[in-house]
Structure formats: C-alpha cells, structure tokens
Structure 1
Amino acid sequence: MNLENITLQTIEIVRQAGGFIKQEAAKFDRSQTEYKAANNLVSYVDKETEKMLVAGLRQILPEAGFITEEGTAGEESNPNELYWVIDPLDGTANFIHGLPVYCVSVGLVQNSIPIAGVIYHLGTEELFYGWQGGGAWSSPPAPNGGGTTISPIGGQGATRLKVSAASTLGDSLLATGFPYYKFEKQDRYLKILETLMQRCHGLRRMGAAAIDLAYVAAGRFEAFYEYNLNSWDMAAGALLILEAGGQITDFSGGQNWLFGGDVIAGCAAQTELLEVIQEHWG
C-alpha cells in the first residue's frame, strides 16, 4: 500500500469537500441547524460533506470500511480492519455561529493504528497531512486567497511539522475542550483546569479537536487533552502528532485513546500534564 500516494489523493478529495463547506458557509442560516442531542449540533452541511468524502474515498481504497460521525456510509467497520475515520465538519457549533474555526478531518486506520491523515482548516486555508513513516506536513494558503497550495511532499512551500521542544508545563501553552454534554465528571475536569491555569502559559479552547491536534503537531500548542471525544475527532490529528515526534496516551497513561474517549497528546511536557490529570481524574 503506497501511503504517500493515498495521502495525496485524499488531499484532493478533502479540498473538494472543503470547497463545498466554504460555499455553504456564505449562505448558511441557523434555522437549518438540527440537534442530535442537547448541545450536540449538526446541519445538512455536515451530512452532505460526509457523503462527498465517502464517495471519493471509496474510489481510492474500495476494500476499506468507514467510521463516520454522521453515519452516512451506512456501515460500521471492524477495528481490526482497514478503514477511514471521518469528521466531515469538526467544529460544527463554530460553523453555525459564523466563527471560522472548523475543519475537515480524515484519517486512515489499520488495526486501530492511524496510518494516514489529512486536516483542512477552512478558516485559515491551511492544510495538514501525513502518513506513517513519511512525516507530518503543512501547506500554507495560496497567495491572494487562491485556496491552499499543495506542494510536493518535502518540496518548496511544504513545511515539515515537529512538536514543541518544551519539556515542562511552565513553558507550555495548552489546548483543551470544555464539556458540553455528559457533565458527570465536570467537577474533576474543573479541578484539572484550576491546577493548570496556575502552572502554564495559558489554556485555549478552539472548539475543534482536530485543529487542536494539528496545532500540537506544528508546535503551536505543547499539548492537548480532552475527554468525551470520538475516534473521528482524533484519528487524523493523532497520526500527525506521532509523525511529528509527539506522544499520545489516554488519561490512564495507556493506549486506549482512539476508542476510549479521552486523550492527552503532545511533546515532552505531556508527562507532567499526565501527572496533573491523574491526580484529579482518578
């Protein structure tokens, strides 16, 4: 399996899907919002984008299954197989409110291990991509608002990603997400937040976990942590972080982060972050 070629093909499909999202953002009305559950929003843009992605990705790897946020692929994959993990519009609440912090996130997973990933940040037109053994990369927006320029891997215009060299929380800017449903562990989460506020440069809540993870891979955040996540929030971003020299665990320090619902990802400062989380999380 040529993962570099698969990644480049995936980029083109993701760009097309991103074009649709940008087109719809210009005319989207909040009355078109639907609720999957309390505070869990979705729109026709999420669903139609996912259908576009599934159709395109089927052409690349007909043998691969799908795990998708909106369930439009009509099937669930066996985690012991090869499958795409798709979040068609990560940051739906941001999109609905007109806040330009949302993205398309597509990961390719084999035997529960991400092996390729593409994240397209629509607000900045920045593209993050990589594959197992090939590194993690970003391509900047094209000049004069012409969309994202896809440079040859390692070529002019492409930047290889590397996690931050910071080794302590005292030198770190952290990213997290605030719970918007399942509030049973809110008190523990707030204790973690209270401790970290006093021990790092600051905490940021972007509202799109895939973007947070891409920014960790790029060294903009030292680490990211969150609970109540799903595999489609993490698959692509996790691949980028691992290829950028970072590390990932769940809140217990184990490796059940892709399907376990909680994740800590980052550079060497992640070790100290894990200690803080374990102190309060139990």
Structure 2
Amino acid sequence: MTQDWQQLNRDVMAVLQTARQRVLDRMASPLTVAEKTNRKDLVTNVDRENEQFLVSEIRRLDPEAHILGEEGFGDRLTSLKGRVWIVDPIDGTMNFVKQHDNFAMMIGIYQDGVGQLGFIYDVMKNVLYHGGKAVDGVWANQDQLTAPMDLPLAEGLMGASSPIVIHDIAHMQAIVHASSGMRIYGSAGIEIINCLLGKTVGYISYLKPWDIAAGQILLNCLDVRVSTIDGRPLDMLSSNLVLVATKKAQRDILQIEEDDVSL
C-alpha cells in the first residue's frame, strides 16, 4: 500500500495535540509516581496513560504497523521490517514530576529501517517539531526550519547528560572543555530541539530507541549528524551512547575520542 505521508503527518499532529491536552488536564491532579530502576528513573500514571492513548490512536491510523513504546504497551520487536512506530509518551519524566516543564512527547516512524517522519512536542511551550524525509522538511508548528549553522565544537554550546559528565565517560569533560560551555536540560527531546534550532552544536547521552528515534529523523533532515560516540550508525533497537552534532563538531569530538584526550 502506498502511504500518503503528508496526510499521516497531519493525522499524527492532531493526535499529539489531543494527547497534549490530556496530559495538561492530568497535571491538575496529583501524580502517581513510581521508580523503574532507581530513584532517578521515574514513571508516572501519566506516562502509562499517555502511551496507551497513543498506541490506540496509532492502531487506528495504521492497523498493520508495529509499535515500540517505552512503557511496554506496544509490540515486542526484533527488527524494523515494515512500518514501525517508536513512541516516548513523556520524555524527561523527572522534569515532568519536579518542574512541570521541560518535557516532551516523541514519535518516530520508520519504513523498513529508514526514518520517514519524526515528531517532538515541547508540551509546555506548545511547539510541535515535525517532519522528515517523507515530507522534505522540518517544521516548528507551521514554520519551516532551516539547517543550523555548521559550527565547530569550540564555537558552540554542548548538551550532555549529567552522569556522563560527572563520571567523565567518553572524555566528556574534555569535550565540554573544548566547547564554549555545557548545557544540561534533562530531556533528550528538549536537547534535540536545541540542536535543531542551532542553540547547541551537539548532545551526548546514553539513549534508548524511544529517546532518539524521532530526533534522528528530524536531525538528519536538517543535516545534523547522529551516530554512536565513535561515529558508527545507530542500532535503533538497542541502547547506545549517542553523539548528536554538526558536521564540524562531530569531527572535533571524534578527534578527541581518537586522541584519548583528558584534561
């Protein structure tokens, strides 16, 4: 069946706008918060309810699709064959719980392993970043984005996750030292938005498929590189230490990795 990607893009935008309102309504009531693997890895009733809603809407829009969801309400996948939707119902759950801000909803749609459409919704700012290869561009709501400037590491801010900096994983402290400074937002979706907008030249973190699936589609469409920390393509069904960067910043970071640089 030939997919009408433009129509699907519009349909998913409508679903996410409904999901946003549902999340805002639920935020008015006390949250039920549980730990997943540790006290800093949280899940709430809203994460679970939102994923159930999104999965049900995806089944309606695309009954033959396979779905990988963070909270487990989709399918068990061993490949990206066919059309695969990868869903993060609330990205940045700690921010959601503690700040009621700086969190996102994310969906990536892949066809036989190739990213076609990505969606990152900054819920509190009400800005939906969407687009990809299938629709030849990336938009923030209705405004089309242009590719960010291809700045080297020294001329831009670097996004990171705090544990990687604290424990100096993959020479992260040297990378930050070589940049203009570090920014930590606590949400892969918000970090990726900053890369899309050229506010940072890169981002490094351990990411699972739902953390990077949508972002990789949008970033690649704007000529921003997405790879493992040593420059290899991502395995979209496993966790990776992911490097997002402009071409020049990627070159600089890979050189630091190759030279085994330390402060």
Which TM-score applies when normalising by structure 2?
Answer: 0.89
Q: Deviations over 1:68-113 (max 9, x none)?
A: 0000125436322311000000000111112410010011012333
| Deviation per residue, 1:120-177 (Å, 9 max, x gap) | 10121111001215111112xxxxxxxxxxx3xxxxxx132412231x1110111111
- Counterpart selection for 2:229 from 232, 235, 251: 251
1:28: how far off? 3.0
Greater mean deviation of Cα atoms: 84-93 or 7-16: 7-16
User: Post-superposition shift, 1:280?
Assistant: 4.4
> Equivalents in 2 of 1:218, 1:226: separation in Å?
19
Q: CA deviation at 1:270?
A: 1.7
Q: Identify the residue that residue 143 of structure 1 maps to in structure 2.
A: none
Label 1:161 to 1:77 Cα distance change in 2 as closer, same or farther (>3 A): farther
Runs of 4+ in 1 over 4 A off after TM superposition: 278-281
Consecutive unaligned residues of structure 1, counting only runs of 5 or more, are 140-150, 152-157
Classify the secondary structure of the residue corresponding to 1:136: strand
SS in 1 for 2:101: coil
What is residue 238 of structure 1 aligned with on the other side?
216
**Partners of 1:101 and 1:121 within 8 A in 2:** yes
2:148 counterpart of 1:163? yes
- Change in 2 beyond 3 A, CA 1:51/1:117: same
- Provide the residue aligned with 1:271 in structure 2: 251
Tell me, yes or no, if the aligned pair for 1:250 and 1:256 is still in contact at 8 Å: yes
- Are the aligned partners of 2:158 and 2:176 in contact in 1 as well (CA < 8 Å)? no
> What is the deviation of 1:203?
1.1
* Aligned counterpart, 1:145: none
Q: Could you say if the C-alpha distance between residues 186 and 206 of structure 1 is closer, same or farther in structure 2, counting changes exceeding 3 Å?
A: closer
Task: Please tell me whether the aligned partners of residues 19 and 50 of structure 2 are also in contact (alpha carbons under 8 angstroms).
Answer: yes
Q: CA deviation at 1:117?
A: 0.8
Check conservation: 2:104, 2:120, Cα contact below 8 A.
yes
Structure 1, residues 161-205: CA drift from partner, whole Å, max 9, x if none?
412231x111011111123xxx9x97441x723212321111111
Q: Equivalents in 1 of 2:258, 2:52: separation in Å?
A: 39
Residue identity over aligned pairs, in percent, reads 22
Alignment check: 8 A CA contact 1:77 1:83 kept: no
Q: Identify the range of structure 1 (230-239 vs 257-266) with the bigger mean alpha-carbon deviation.
A: 257-266
Equivalent residues of 1:21, 1:49 under 8 A apart? yes
Aligned equivalent of 2:198: 219
Give the direction of change, closer, same or farther, for the CA distance of 1:186–1:113 in structure 2 (3 Å limit).
farther
Aligned equivalents of 1:165 and 1:67: distance in 2?
33
Matches of 2:260 and 2:235 in 1, distance apart? 18
Q: Does the Cα contact within 8 Å between 1:164 and 1:218 map onto a contact in 2?
A: no
Aligned-CA RMSD value: 2.1
Residue equivalent to 1:28: 30
Indicate the SS of the match to 1:123: coil
Moved more, 58-67 or 88-97: 58-67
